[in-house]
A and B are shown apart, each in its own frame.
Chain A
Amino acid sequence: MANTTQIEAHSVGKMFGDFHALRDVSLDIKEGEFLSLLGPSGSGKTTFLTMLGGYQNLTSGKLLLEGQDMTNWSAKQRGFGMVFQGYALFPHLSVAENIAFPLKVKKWSKAQMSARVDQMIEMVGLSGHAHKKPKALSGGQQQRVALARALAYEPKVLLLDEPFSALDKNLRGQMQEELRRLHRDLGTTFVFVTHDQEEALALSTHVAIFNQGALQQIGTPSEVYEHPANRFTAEFLGDINIMSLDAEKGGVAGTKIDLPTNASAFDHIALRPEHMRLAGETDVNKLPVTVRDMVYLGSKSRLVLETKAGEELMFYIDNGPGLPPPDLGAGLHVAWDTGDSFAL
């Protein structure tokens, strides 16, 4: 996988009337990367993706492709593959004809075209469905046709707008696996829009988190999950416990705690629930808490704990043999490694 920068966005902005759909988004996409654009509904993901593809104009900023300014190129000139939200298959054409359409436009020879179409149909596992119309296919199969069509002419970049949002959970998992395999096998750059955190973390090499039109953070899944840049990212990416620092910034809820190095500049520290454990003899950070609620979840139970300062923490315990669940109102000590906590 070459490590060269393929696409650069410089201070990209988009306005609809006087509404800022995107403001000042700058990011780099490396060749062969699998970048997920993640954010709540209306955060500007689709807008950014369609601007990358050349389907919408920028209001400000510029886009570079391999160092060349592509801001004013049409979608055709950029030549990226795109899988639209809702697939956008040609309803009157068969699976094979759908996949052949972009090749016909590019004037491939008949022989090349049919070989390529067969290869793509094989690749997405639709052999035997080549002559069906889209309406005769299931949602997952239509999804594969859209993928095959977008990948048929080997675009340098594939853009996908929530390709799995219409699929049920099992099929979704299966398609995610296939998309990962495709990405591994082809080495094409994928830019993938989703509002599903788990999907983004599981699939991508990089995640860009958007909120209200602004880029919050970009990094590898573990970077953004374990070291969120701000409170929004921290809360958006999963369960998080946030505790206020004491006035003199020496600990939490009256207990002295070993704090992350930059804590003095902030008011809170945050911690993922899975980084918390029941305190043992040797632990340094021991926080006394009270059990306020417990929810049985099968292999685990989720506890709601309350600190001396009245803040609630989420905590999971395994329901193993010989571990009696704590009673409501009981006191416990929880602990964590300083490196797992971060200041916010």
Chain B
Amino acid sequence: MRPYLLLICPVLLFLGASYLLPFLGIVQLSFTDPDPGFAQYGHVLSDPLSLGVIGRTLRLCLIVTVVSVTSAYVITLLWVRGSPLVRMITELCIMIPFWISILSRAFGWLSMLSNRGLLNTWLQDLGLIDSAIQMTRNEFAVVVGMSHYLIPFAVFPLATAMRNVDERVLTAADGMGASRLRIFWQVYLPMTASGIMGATLLVFVFSIGFYVTPALLGGGQSVLVAELIYLWIFQIPQWGMAAAMSVVLMIAVGGILYLLIRRYEDVTP
């Protein structure tokens, strides 16, 4: 008997009680409410509405992930490699959003992007557009809002990877005559691939469960999985369906994670 197993027992018990048991409850619900068997899954996986929602969620989350990780890469570059002043400003821009709740941020974007919001008013005042451009209650707003929330989270794995880059390797590439473009694409980017992978995982998993931001900024136009589950629990009580959907989501995320992590091991230096 290895003694350390005994020491981690309390943690395992706590995790089991707080995560595993409720999850098993959900699994049970998905197979029993209202009908015993696979009926709920059959419905979730065949009903055009729920299939559409799953598809839209995966698509939007993919877009959000790409937008967030790309923007975060640029921001992290500034943070890690910028001049001291640039670094300080970037650091503030990364930290401040952490102190603002997700709800306020969604409202912030509403007041920015809505038809009578800041952006439309400015554009009209400047005479660049005649009538307001629809920038809320659609997927565009959801992507903006979600990416804005997720970028700071993507920064940290990227920063770790960038700080681990041996400066001499870049100097060496430069001395061999490689252009800055080549150094970036063929040396720096591959050397930070582990950070990109980590940020991608983190952002994607986070984004799947988003509720507030898409609800507010999508204005019902772009219903995502979390909203649908909410609907099935609180509006038209169909707990079995909600449970089945949760399990499907869980498995989908698990599968994608598995694939990404397998790839991740290939790129970690």
Contact = CB atoms under 8 A, between A and B. Distances in A.
A169 interface: no
A138 B173 CA distance: 22
Interface stretch (A74-82, A280-288, A298-306): A74-82
Interface in A68-107: 75-76, 79-80, 82, 84-86, 88-93, 101-102, 105-106
Contact of B177 (A84, A85, A91, A102): A102
A54 interface: yes
Nearest to A80: B175
A79 B169 CA distance: 17
Residue of A75, A86, A92 with most chain B CB atoms under a 10 A cut-off: A92
B78 interface: no
B59 interface: no
B177 A54 contact: no
B175 A82 contact: yes
Interface string B173-210: 11111100010001100110100000000000000000
Residue of B168, B173, B174, B178 with most chain A CB atoms under a 10 A cut-off: B168
A86 B172 CA distance: 11
B127 interface: no
A55 B171 contact: yes
Contact of A76 (B174, B191, B267): B174
Nearest to B177: A76
A135 interface: yes
A3 B191 CA distance: 43
Given A76-B174, A76-B175, A105-B177, A88 B269 contact: no
B166 interface: yes
A88 B166 contact: yes
A101 to B, nearest CB: 6
A135 B177 contact: no
Given A105-B182, A135-B269, A90 B177 contact: no
Given A76-B177, A105-B182, A135-B269, A92 B190 contact: yes
A135 B174 CA distance: 22
Contacts of B171: 55, 84, 88
Contacts of A39: none
Nearest to B174: A75
A79 B193 CA distance: 30
Contact of B168 (A86, A101, A133, A135): A86
A102 B186 CA distance: 12
Interface string B139-178: 0000000000000000000000000001011011111111
Given A84-B168, A92-B193, A75 B187 contact: no
Interface string B238-269: 00000000000000000000000000000101
Given A105-B182, A135-B269, A88 B168 contact: yes
Contacts of B178: 101, 105
Overall SS of chain B's interface? helix
A90 B169 CA distance: 6
Contacts of B186: 101
Contacts of A93: 190
A interface, size bucket: 20 to 34
A91 B267 CA distance: 10
Interface in A99-118: 101-102, 105-106
Contacts of B166: 86, 88
A91 B172 contact: no
Contacts of A86: 166, 168
Contact of B175 (A55, A90, A92): A55
Given A84-B168, A86-B168, A89-B169, A75 B175 contact: yes
Contact of B269 (A53, A80, A91): A91
Contact of B187 (A76, A90, A133, A135): A90
A145 B116 CA distance: 63
A93 B172 CA distance: 14
Contacts of A90: 169, 173, 187, 191
Contacts of A76: 174-177
A135 B164 CA distance: 15
A292 B166 CA distance: 52
Contacts of A84: 168, 171-172
Nearest to B165: A91
Residue of B169, B187, B190 with most chain A CB atoms under a 10 A cut-off: B169
A83 to B, nearest CB: 9
Contacts of B182: 105
B77 to A, nearest CB: 18
A80 B174 CA distance: 12
Nearest to B179: A105
Interface in B192-239: 193
A92 B193 CA distance: 9
A133 B169 CA distance: 15
Given A91-B191, A91-B269, A106 B168 contact: no
Nearest to B168: A88
21 contacts: A53-B175, A54-B175, A55-B175, A75-B175, A76-B175, A76-B177, A86-B168, A88-B166, A88-B168, A88-B169, A88-B171, A88-B172, A89-B169, A90-B191, A91-B169, A91-B191, A92-B190, A93-B190, A102-B176, A105-B176, A133-B269
Interface of A: 53-55, 75-76, 79-80, 82, 84-86, 88-93, 101-102, 105-106, 133, 135
Given A86-B168, A92-B269, A133-B269, 12 more contacts: A55-B175, A85-B168, A89-B169, A90-B173, A91-B169, A91-B191, A92-B193, A92-B267, A102-B177, A105-B176, A105-B178, A135-B269
Give 4 closest A-B pairs by Cβ, nearest first.
A88-B168, A75-B175, A102-B176, A76-B177
